Structure 1
Amino acid sequence: MTAALIVAHGQPSDPLPAAAELARLADRVAALLPDHDLAAATLAEPGALARATAGRAPGVVFPLFMAGGWFTRHLIPARLAEAGATGWQVLEPFGCDPAVQDLAVRIAAQSGAARVLLAAHGSSKSPAPSAIARYLAARITAATGAEAAAAFIDQTPRLALATGYGADAVCLPFFAMPGGHVTTDLPAALAEAGFGGRLLPAVGQHPDVPALIARAIVAAAPVCAGACRWA
């Protein structure tokens, strides 16, 4: 069987709930991949990556991240090396998958909203997360006619300053997991901004996501395959 490992960031302050949520997602993906030996680990849970790779032949690592960057290109390979897990291939992250981006556009279209606030984490260290979010906001506008814009938790333009959104708007969280950013930070920022629209579930919570992850694992596209527009 081909080994596959889904890796997420997790919640450093409280790693077990996020690890349990990831395990539930991995079970749904595994049900679609009977010819794969699939496991999951968060970077925040001590020893999880070592436990998940122990005794498994090298396979593929699917990063449940919304963009490529330091975590996917450097930290995950470094943690694998620390665990003695050599030969594993790190794949393109979840949010870089065109099928995931298509899903986000479809969710926005199905909302019927005239305005879409695409909420993302952003980064003060890499342009990739904001580049993906801005690209996706432009795609939503082109596909639906809605006025779409991206705002961020960790960089400008910040969600807390995204004012002027009324009842005709939705906020679509471009996040992979329903962690603290989605359940706490994002609602707090929207409240500060006076957001008057609907807050949708995170893209990663959509029922189609396990099938998209399974498809990506089978396709096994290596991280930043070809010319990476998100670098």
Structure 2
Amino acid sequence: MTKSAILVAHGSPSDPETQENALQALAAKVQAHLPGWQVRGATLAAKGALETAIEAMNTPLIYPFFMAEGYFTNRILAPKSQAAGLTQLAPFGVEPALTDCAEATLRGVLQAQGWQAEDTALLMAAHGSAVSRTSADSTHAMQAQLSRRLPFRTTRAGFIEEPPFVQDQARDLGQAICLCYFALNAGHMLEDMPEALDTAAFTGPVLPAMIDWPQVPALIADSLKRA
């Protein structure tokens, strides 16, 4: 029996096709690490995409490509998974290997810039939420783990939808790196983040959304194999 999985993200209600295509591309990269598997992508914002993918596959694992547990994973996606009799895994943002991935990426940026962590600040920029603590909690957990592994001069976390806001936390950091704790290149990454960093006059390296990290497909594939 062919093993299968569906990567599910929120997507973008204002531009569902772009994010649907991006997630399908990620799914293809994950499948390349899983011979004999069938892996697809679907976003909640693309009407009927998840249901169509489920119907086309044989009891797929549901892999939430979200940065934290929250409303969409628990209130929207989980009931759909349960109704179809499918296993829903923990979201991408709580993968244990993600910390290793982030550490390696930050070390690479430091080396490329010729910087030392002791002279550099780390800004963690994330979604946040006005109604749920899970997004901020997940971000702070990653911030704490990275602080233990890399001796940054200081680390700060800032959010788009709750205080402390990115534009405030990004001010007066001097030599600094911004780690964007976002899954997709959707509205927050394409519009809100550039505006916030510009407002703060932040000029350091800004890491891309997680979907564009080259290590991510293998990380997801390893997680699916363990499920």
Query: What's the TM-score once normalised by structure 1's chain length?
Result: 0.88
| 1:151 pairs with 2:152 | no
The 1-side partners of 2:15 and 2:60 are apart by 28
| 1:182 pairs with 2:164 | no
| CA drift at 1:182 | 1.2
Residue identity opposite 2:172 in structure 1: G
Can you give the 5+ residue segments of structure 1 that lack an aligned partner in the other structure?
A: 221-231
Query: Which string of whole-angstrom CA distances, capped at 9 and with x for unpartnered residues, describes residues 87-131 of structure 1?
Result: 111101001001112211222233225111011111122211111
Inter-CA distance 4–100: structure 2 relative to 1 (3 Å threshold)? same
State whether residues 31 and 39 of structure 2, in contact with CA within 8 Å, keep that contact through their aligned partners in structure 1: yes
Query: What's the TM-score once normalised by structure 2's chain length?
Result: 0.89
Kindly report which structure 2 residues correspond to 1:57-206, keeping only aligned pairs within 5 A, or say none.
57-80=58-81, 86-112=84-110, 114-146=120-152, 147-162=154-169, 163-166=171-174, 168-206=175-213
Q: Secondary structure at the match of 1:210?
A: helix
The 1-side partners of 2:42 and 2:209 are apart by 20
State whether residues 60 and 91 of structure 1, in contact with CA within 8 Å, keep that contact through their aligned partners in structure 2: yes
State whether residues 159 and 166 of structure 2, in contact with CA within 8 Å, keep that contact through their aligned partners in structure 1: yes
Residue identity opposite 1:56 in structure 2: M
Q: What CA RMSD, in Å, does the superposition of the two structures yield over aligned residues? A: 1.5
| CA drift at 1:132 | 1.6
Matched residue, 1:228: none
Runs of 4+ in 1 over 3 A off after TM superposition: none
Query: Which string of whole-angstrom CA distances, capped at 9 and with x for unpartnered residues, describes residues 115-165 of structure 1?
Result: 110111111222111112112112222211102111111111100212112
The 1-side partners of 2:190 and 2:103 are apart by 22
- Greater Cα offset, 4-13 or 85-94: 85-94
Inter-CA distance 54–136: structure 2 relative to 1 (3 Å threshold)? same
- Greater Cα offset, 56-65 or 4-13: 56-65
Identical counterparts, % of pairs: 37
| CA drift at 1:80 | 4.2
- Greater Cα offset, 42-51 or 147-156: 147-156
The 1-side partners of 2:50 and 2:147 are apart by 39
- Greater Cα offset, 182-191 or 53-62: 53-62
The 2-side partners of 1:18 and 1:26 are apart by 12
